[in-house]
Structure 1
């Protein structure tokens, strides 16, 4: 707010002061006081009053700036009413009271919603854990019966339930991960074994090389991320000779794991959006896609302190790159 805007808000008070100054001047002149003295008196009064108003303006401006900085520095701005200094002006006290009531109502509503969300998340996690047991039993039964068609369908159900479970947990990874030393080749082989029937069905040739590396992260979360990438690759194979290439690259500060397929690829215009929730692309068969696999993979990589990137050329290849920082300790997102 400028100084002139501040004066406009006090126009009634200033007009009264000018009226009072004019009245005093007329009285002084009526009683024969020298006009020069009256003019000097008017100048002195206006100067002093102007200086006082300027000082008051600077004081209020400084107080306003402090409140603005206080609000900007708060991560959760709805707590502002709890730390704002209580105003002394009568009208501002009413605004302060209204703000306190509004913030209290908002915080109560946020607490209620948070409790409901946590209860729903607990229910989803509990349901997913319970339903995985009979699904696993069905999958094992069909495997023993060598009924691979039904086993494939039960495995799809299992993967969807697993995706739901990890999505529910994705906001609280720090409570559910355990960082340890992992041999990358062992983890890769576990994921390939998990999708062996789908890979055989699509007649996929697998080229694995240079993956005898050690990384530090949570094994369970890494297997899930790799499973989502593998599942995504299998879903979009479209050639007579499908090929999956997995290899790593050892740099000075990190280890890169590359997973490349020769599927339908991604349009250049879609590359920047592949990690968005629900995005399935404009050149893919959306009937079997929910757009959650890469979204979850990216989300979990970010939270685990890893980096997930993608490169692709339409009708040629899609390559996912996971970057593992070297060393036993690195920062994790909260």
Structure 2
């Protein structure tokens, strides 16, 4: 009703103005019968009121739809036009909606095609990396070791691209099962043994063997790999240690990963999980991409886990995953 009255305000104002003007013209012509003038005003007002009531009743659903918040972009389709104006607007909205869906489908197909190309490209790149790794795995000279280290970096970079591309289609690649937490952590640390050797960092596990979690092993392994890589990268201390602890608290299983690295400045802590944020440490260590912690948080969120981070600059960082 408020919207209707606001729209009809000019009509009502013009009506009263023309009523005054016509009455004044008759008064100037010498017509002084007040009772007849008031009767004419009453009849005219009744006609205006009838017009406004008719206008409101025929446009009521239209005004109601304009006033209600839209829950989805296709919400207007349930409106039944009852007047030429609402019918014309309804046709326009339907036409725009079809154009929108057409453009949206076109962009969706492009994105899906791009993601498919990225996935195929990553898998193609993994083949020569595996072949090169097989060619040098029996060699122990410094040159071969350096090549192996660079292959590890390449493999991790490709994995990050692959998992980033798959993140939007997470539900299509999800297999949830009950896992022994200690075995998952030991498998992740064993896979990263070359990284530990290169960084001169030693993993220390303090975990109860009977702790179990419900998660997706592949996605969780990627999260642990990112956390381990960050911990080793930012540990400059000779013979530093990376501690893995797990316990149950308040009905939850908590995995804690603590390093002896350089820590994170307090000003950077609120943005650690933002995409592409590298911070002060990222500028000192050129390998940082700013995507590792972002992906870890997104994957944990999709898996139903929580991830927390505490850090003291110069002393180290603690990351907790709450299952």
> TM-score category by the smaller chain?
0.7 to 0.9
Is residue 168 of structure 1 aligned with residue 169 of structure 2? Answer: no
Question: Is the Cα contact below 8 Å between 1:198 and 1:234 reproduced in 2?
Answer: yes
**Structure 1, unaligned stretches of length 5 or more?**
325-334
231, 247, 253: which one aligns with 2:251: 253
Written as runs of structure 1 = structure 2, the 5 A alignment for 1:114-133 is 114-133=108-127
Report the counterpart of residue 190 of structure 1 in structure 2: 187
Question: Is the Cα contact below 8 Å between 2:266 and 2:313 reproduced in 1?
Answer: yes
Report the counterpart of residue 10 of structure 1 in structure 2: 11
Written as runs of structure 1 = structure 2, the 5 A alignment for 1:128-143 is 128-143=122-137
Task: After TM superposition, give the deviation of residue 40 of structure 1 in Å.
Answer: 5.4
**What is the rounded CA distance, in whole Å, between the counterparts of 1:61 and 1:321 in structure 2?**
56
Report the counterpart of residue 332 of structure 1 in structure 2: none
Is residue 199 of structure 1 aligned with residue 200 of structure 2? Answer: no
* Count of aligned pairs between the two proteins: 315
Is residue 94 of structure 1 aligned with residue 92 of structure 2? Answer: no
Cα deviation digits, residues 198-230 of structure 1 (max 9, x gap): 212222132210242100111111101100111
**What is the rounded CA distance, in whole Å, between the counterparts of 1:253 and 1:47 in structure 2?**
73
Task: After TM superposition, give the deviation of residue 318 of structure 1 in Å.
Answer: 1.0
Cα deviation digits, residues 271-317 of structure 1 (max 9, x gap): 11111110001244252111011111111111111111111111111
Report the counterpart of residue 321 of structure 2 in structure 1: 322
Report the counterpart of residue 154 of structure 1 in structure 2: 151
Cα deviation digits, residues 56-82 of structure 1 (max 9, x gap): 5698577434344351x11xx2x345x
**Structure 2, unaligned stretches of length 5 or more?**
none
Question: Is the Cα contact below 8 Å between 1:203 and 1:242 reproduced in 2?
Answer: yes
Task: After TM superposition, give the deviation of residue 99 of structure 1 in Å.
Answer: 2.5
Written as runs of structure 1 = structure 2, the 5 A alignment for 1:61-76 is 63-69=62-68, 71=70, 73-74=71-72
Written as runs of structure 1 = structure 2, the 5 A alignment for 1:222-237 is 222-237=220-235
Is residue 113 of structure 1 aligned with residue 111 of structure 2? Answer: no
* Matched residue SS, 2:280: coil
Task: After TM superposition, give the deviation of residue 36 of structure 1 in Å.
Answer: 3.7
279, 282, 297: which one aligns with 2:280: 282
* Matched residue SS, 1:140: helix
**What is the rounded CA distance, in whole Å, between the counterparts of 2:3 and 2:171 in structure 1?**
48
Question: Is the Cα contact below 8 Å between 2:62 and 2:86 reproduced in 1?
Answer: no
**What is the rounded CA distance, in whole Å, between the counterparts of 2:87 and 2:271 in structure 1?**
49
Moved more, 140-149 or 272-281: 140-149
Indicate how the Cα distance of structure 1 residues 243 and 254 shifts in structure 2: closer, same or farther if over 3 A, else same: same
Indicate how the Cα distance of structure 1 residues 55 and 263 shifts in structure 2: closer, same or farther if over 3 A, else same: farther
Normalising by structure 2, we get a TM-score of 0.85
Indicate how the Cα distance of structure 1 residues 151 and 125 shifts in structure 2: closer, same or farther if over 3 A, else same: same
Question: Is the Cα contact below 8 Å between 1:67 and 1:84 reproduced in 2?
Answer: no
Alignment RMSD (CA, Å): 3.1
**What is the rounded CA distance, in whole Å, between the counterparts of 2:124 and 2:318 in structure 1?**
35
Task: After TM superposition, give the deviation of residue 100 of structure 1 in Å.
Answer: 2.4
Indicate how the Cα distance of structure 1 residues 178 and 3 shifts in structure 2: closer, same or farther if over 3 A, else same: closer
